[in-house]
Chains A and B, each alone.
Chain A
Amino acid sequence: MAHFDENARPFSHQWLNERLAIDTLKRVLSTEYWIPKNINFLWAMGMVLAATFGLLLVSGIFLLMYYQPNTELAFDSVNYTIMTEVGYGWLWRHIHGVGASVVFLVIYIHMFTGIYYGSYKRGRELIWLSGMLLFVTFSAEAFSGYMLPWGQMSYWAGMVITNLFSGGSLHADALVEWIRGDYVPGQAFLNRFFMLHVLLLPLVIIGLIVLHFGTLRIPHVNNQEGEELDFEKEAALYKEGKIRESKVIPFNPVFLSKDVFVLGIYFIFFFYLVFYHFEFAMDPVNFDPADPLKTPPHIYPEWYFLWSYEILRPFPTDPGLVAFGIAQVIFFLLPFLDKSPNVAPAHKRGLFKYWFWALLIDMIVLTFMGKLPPEGIWSVIGLIAAIFFFVLWIALPIITKKEKKL
């Protein structure tokens, strides 16, 4: 039975502690949440992602106050009202646009860090899977957001991507119409993507971030050597004052101080882009208003979808769609396709080292080809890179099975 002191002042420490256990919370979530000492700045990327999501949320709320989800008004509500008439509207929009692009850069860095250090294995599978769910939901969030200014690229990318749901020769046109709410993208389409972008998907993302953090608590984060730590023992050492000997540090304030420093550097980079180099995040084609009668000469998605787009494109329709579908989910299977018992950085893992760099370079090549017009040498390179992507994933269980136990 809980004990409540009648004389405790409302909102005093004691009063709160009796009702919320704030001392315990603080201990469990921060001052005695142990982090390995042997980690580098790449382990701050999770915090960078959380902060970028915060920026996207706040700037999005400001944009939402003036945006009009109407096919007639949307373009000018963004490009005129927000950019010209609303005080600092341009700043919120540039933060939102740059944030949406940069968040994917950081997500990819965060993912490849996890792959490099084997942080998806031995107790950390759920961290990886919840992370992948975040990736997929962020992708949907970015795509739905891209529809909202109702420019040429919004319209035509919306057309092309929703067309994929017809399933090639399955001709599931009814499904495509159901998704669009119309035969072609129009008012119904814009309204539902607006709803997804500002309500449903952000809610799901927030839930998934909580889940992701939850899955981290028991296995703890990995470290640069993949060493399995006895956190209880190391924490006891730390608390005894053997700070130098202990292999762990408390999240607050020790790891946090490093996170904040990394965030500082990141924000310099981020706001440099916002003020001086935002064009890369806002495609020029989308500054032409949507015109259903005029197909743009080049239709391509934003850069972070290019690698999977290029897995779709070089094949005939049906195999292309199957390849595309597999590419969307294959990363979910990573913890189960990696058969090696080792949790170690890739450079200590024999063939896996080459697998890691080959995957990274192949995805960069796919990304390049995904934007270029599919002609001549570019489509040949794209086809080879797409096939190589699947070769890598087929090879993964084989080479990791052969890996010697370290």
Chain B
Amino acid sequence: MKELKIFGIVAAFTLILYWGVEPFAHSQMHKHVEGDDLKYSDLKPLTVKGDAKRGESLAMACIGCHSIDVKNMPAPMDAVAAAQSFGVNPPDLSLAGKLLDEKFFAHFLLNPAEVTKSKHFAMPPSASSEQDAADIVAYFKSIAPKEVTPKEGYVFACGRCHANRYDKWTQIGDVPKTKSNIKTGVDLDALEFKKKLGTYQNKLADYMGKLPPDLSIIYRARSEHFLETFIEDPQSQLPGTAMPRVGLNHEGLEKVMAYLESTGDPSKPKREAIGPKVLGFFVIFAFLAFLWKKSIWKGHH
């Protein structure tokens, strides 16, 4: 069949063209970074076992700066005041034991700046021995809730630095629902919130050197592979960056990625639902058109 041969040639050139401008070009443009499967191999394995009971009393030092909501322990100051002291709001620790890698977490407590690979990390070393660190980690593992939503994962790991405006998330919490004055249209509560957020962001930008970008649609702007290796170790993709290595485990990474996907590519479930129907329609359409063509062309050759 001559037409099939011609079709084969057109298809082959189209595929070559596609390969050249997409997979090949991207492989040349971006340096390929291999992930470490969240093993954090640069950190030594722990040699001791943690004791959650001992950890509980050691962890009382943490609430000098952090809140632990699951234990109803509030933070000593609100987000804006914390940013004024530290440059950033220390995250709530309820999920730390669940979403952070155990080994990373323990080493982090001994030496936050070095382990996060950020030159200045506002948290001072908060454990005096490997045993203490392991105990604290064991404690946070013991108090973690069973179920975590993707958004909770994001808020814990990234939310203090990165807003997500498509989900109305700001670094100091969700944008509150407020009402404006009917007579003047002025919404004082919203302005109040804006001012607080602005103060926080100014401090955060001073601390980090720049305002961390909003991550609403980062899922479409970077490849999944980039995001995963970047979160695992920001220095691997942006050497010298101020963003810390946060030390997520597999569950933590999964939650964060699920959240980024839900705000960056929300139509995926709808595509998967409708796609097969539309394609099915056109397969039937093409088949009927083929029968029509056959009947019309009868006697022409």
Q: Which residues of A contact B (CB under 8 A)?
A: 37, 40-42, 76, 79-80, 83-84, 90-91, 105, 109, 243-244, 249, 253-254, 257-258, 260-261, 263-265, 267-268, 271-272, 274-276, 280, 282, 284-285, 287-288, 298, 303, 306, 360, 364, 367-368, 371-373, 378
Contacts and interface: CB of A to CB of B under 8 A. Distances in A.
30 contacts: A40-B6, A41-B7, A76-B166, A79-B216, A79-B217, A91-B274, A254-B300, A257-B289, A257-B296, A258-B293, A258-B297, A260-B289, A264-B285, A264-B287, A264-B288, A264-B290, A267-B285, A268-B286, A275-B271, A275-B274, A275-B278, A280-B21, A284-B220, A284-B222, A285-B221, A287-B220, A303-B17, A367-B20, A367-B21, A373-B28
A38 B10 CA distance: 19
Contact of A243 (B3, B6, B271, B299): B299
A74 to B, nearest CB: 14
Interface in B263-277: 264, 266-267, 270-271, 274-275
Nearest to A270: B282
A84 B266 CA distance: 7
B243 to A, nearest CB: 16
Given A90-B267, A109-B10, A257-B292, A284 B223 contact: yes
Contacts of B290: 261, 264
Interface string B6-20: 110010011011101
Interface of B: 2-3, 6-7, 10, 13-14, 16-18, 20-22, 24-25, 28-29, 165-166, 213, 216-218, 220-223, 264, 266-267, 270-271, 274-275, 278-279, 282-283, 285-290, 292-293, 296-297, 299-301
Nearest to A80: B166
Given A80-B216, A83-B266, A257-B289, A371 B296 contact: no
Contact of A41 (B3, B222, B223): B3
A373 B26 CA distance: 10
Nearest to B270: A90
Contacts of B275: 271, 275-276
Contact of B21 (A42, A83, A257, A303): A303
A369 B290 CA distance: 40
Contacts of A272: 279
Nearest to A373: B29
Given A257-B292, A275-B278, A371 B266 contact: no
A393 B94 CA distance: 70
Contact of A364 (B20, B218, B222): B20
B287 to A, nearest CB: 8
B213, B270, B289 pick with most chain A CB within 10 angstroms: B289
